[in-house]
Amino acid sequence: MKSSGSLPYDGRLSTPSLLRTRAAVALLAIGASALPAVAWAHGVTAGDKGYIMETFGVRIVPFIYLGAKHMVTGYDHLLFLFGVIFYLYRFKDIGVYVTLFALGHSITLVSGVVAGVSINAYLIDAIIGASVAYKALDNLGVLAKWFGRQPDPRTATMLFGLCHGLGLATRMLDFDLAKDGLLPNLLAFNVGVEIGQFLALCVILIAISYWRRSATFVRYAKAANMLLFLSGVALVVYQLNGYLSPSQA
């Protein structure tokens, strides 16, 4: 399998579609910029944050729960996964791409926290938003049109998995985790992330499989990926707005 199964697309939009797309991008950009820059894509509830910062020793089950909860509510991760599996029909192919993504974010999550490597949360979340937009363009066939060939989707999935994991590591480092039990708790958190990813993926697969049996899938597949692209753009603008806000100066 050489690609993620993108439908052929010449990369061009009709004039009305182009105008609507530009208008939508502009509206989303304005709306994202106007939002208060206080919530991050990797936000954690006050109760969970307090638990993480105050706990010490090995806490396997609680950290598995926290990891699963974080993934299930991590809309940026889920949007990217939605884009990845959008045109994948065989479970074997889905397994390959999801495994690459999981491997990527597991590597940077664990190594990033242990080594103390982090990036500004707004910037890494902007990159994650860009991964959503990238996957949408890939599904639309636009990247193949721009570059003359489709970039390897497996490599891209792995690389963006590394970025997503770094986002998780950055958030965990903000909590100044206790050294006592750090590695077991971190591994438990990652197991929870994988469990949450599996549960979310099951829901996405059920929904998209049902949609594929309808004639509306072919009719609105392009529109769905345009919406996915606009969501990625909105995430990027929102995070960059947070990064550039006076409170970050």
Q: What percent of the chain has pLDDT over 90?
A: 46
Of 1 and 110, more confident? 110
Amino acid making up residue 206: I
Q: Give the pLDDT confidence score for residue 209 in this predicted structure.
A: 92
* Beta carbons within 10 angstroms of residue 241's beta carbon: 18
**pLDDT per residue as tens digits for the range 121-179:** 899 999 999 999 999 999 999 988 898 888 899 999 999 999 999 988 887 887 777 78
> Is the pLDDT at 92 greater than 80, yes or no?
yes
CA angle (33 as vertex; 32, 35 as ends), nearest 5:
65
Q: Give the pLDDT confidence score for residue 100 in this predicted structure.
A: 95
**90 lies in some domain:** yes
Q: Give the pLDDT confidence score for residue 21 in this predicted structure.
A: 46
**112 lies in some domain:** yes
> Is the pLDDT at 216 greater than 70, yes or no?
yes
Q: Give the pLDDT confidence score for residue 30 in this predicted structure.
A: 42
Q: Distance (Å, rounded) from C-alpha 246 to C-alpha 179?
A: 33
**114 lies in some domain:** yes
Of 10 and 42, more confident? 42
Q: Give the pLDDT confidence score for residue 69 in this predicted structure.
A: 86
Q: Give the pLDDT confidence score for residue 225 in this predicted structure.
A: 95
> Is the pLDDT at 7 greater than 70, yes or no?
no
> Using H for helix, E for strand and C for coil, what is the string for 141-178?
CHHHHHHCCCCCHHHHHHHHHHHHHHHHHHHHHCCCCC
**Could you list the residue range(s) of the whole structural domain that residue 107 is in?**
44-243
**85 lies in some domain:** yes
**pLDDT per residue as tens digits for the range 22-73:** 444 444 444 444 444 334 445 555 555 555 666 666 788 888 988 888 888 8
**19 lies in some domain:** no
Q: Give the pLDDT confidence score for residue 149 in this predicted structure.
A: 85
Q: Distance (Å, rounded) from C-alpha 209 to C-alpha 211?
A: 5
In 3D space, the residue among 88, 113, 77 whose CA is nearest the CA of residue 194 turns out to be 77
> Is the pLDDT at 228 greater than 90, yes or no?
yes
**4 lies in some domain:** no
**33 lies in some domain:** no
**pLDDT per residue as tens digits for the range 190-207:** 999 999 999 999 999 999
Q: Give the pLDDT confidence score for residue 1 in this predicted structure.
A: 42
Query: What sections of the chain are H helices per DSSP?
Result: 15-34, 46-54, 60-72, 75-85, 91-115, 121-140, 142-147, 153-173, 182-212, 216-244
Instruction: Give the number of domains in the chain.
Output: 1
**17 lies in some domain:** no
Q: Give the pLDDT confidence score for residue 208 in this predicted structure.
A: 93
